Amino acid sequence: MQKYSLTVLINEKVTEAGRSGIFDSLKKNFASLIKEDLWGARSLAYEIKHQPKAFYGYFEFEAEPKSVITLDKNIRLNEDIIRHLIVRIEPKKKRTKFVKKEKAVIMDKAEEVSETIEEVKEEKGKAKVK
């Protein structure tokens, strides 16, 4: 099961009942809904299909990849949805190994630099003695 996010722009002329029907039909393809955010009607940066405004909806959900393909097809067939974006959310990776490795590399470099500084000081001390 993968996590996905879906952003949908619905034609502003669609009624409240129509929008809720569209959202319900989309949710049928979700195995589990994690987050639902309805942003409301907003102005678009540029007209899409001759519409200056659209109703935004954002969802985070879990689903199988096959059901996401079906969801995408259903969205493309719906004429009231003027734009959509489905993005797979990658799981967060633990960084402890990476941080430990980087810390070890930095410590090695610091030791090399301090050894070089000591060598330079010794050479300066020999040069002053002569």
* Between residues 120 and 78, the one the model is more confident about: 78
Residue 116, domain extent: 93-130
Q: Is a pLDDT exceeding 90 seen at residue 6?
A: yes
Average pLDDT, the chain: 86
Quick one: pLDDT at residue 58? 96
Same domain as 100, residue 65: no
For residue 29, give every residue at least 6 positions away whose Cβ sits within 8 Å of its Cβ, in sequence order, or none. Answer: 63, 67, 68, 70, 71, 74
> How confident is residue 128, by pLDDT bands cut at 50, 70 and 90?
low
| Number of domains observed in the structure of the chain | 2
pLDDT tens-digit map of 14-44: 999 999 999 999 998 899 999 999 999 999 9
- Do 71 and 11 fall into the same domain? yes
CATH code where residue 20 lies:
3.30.70.60
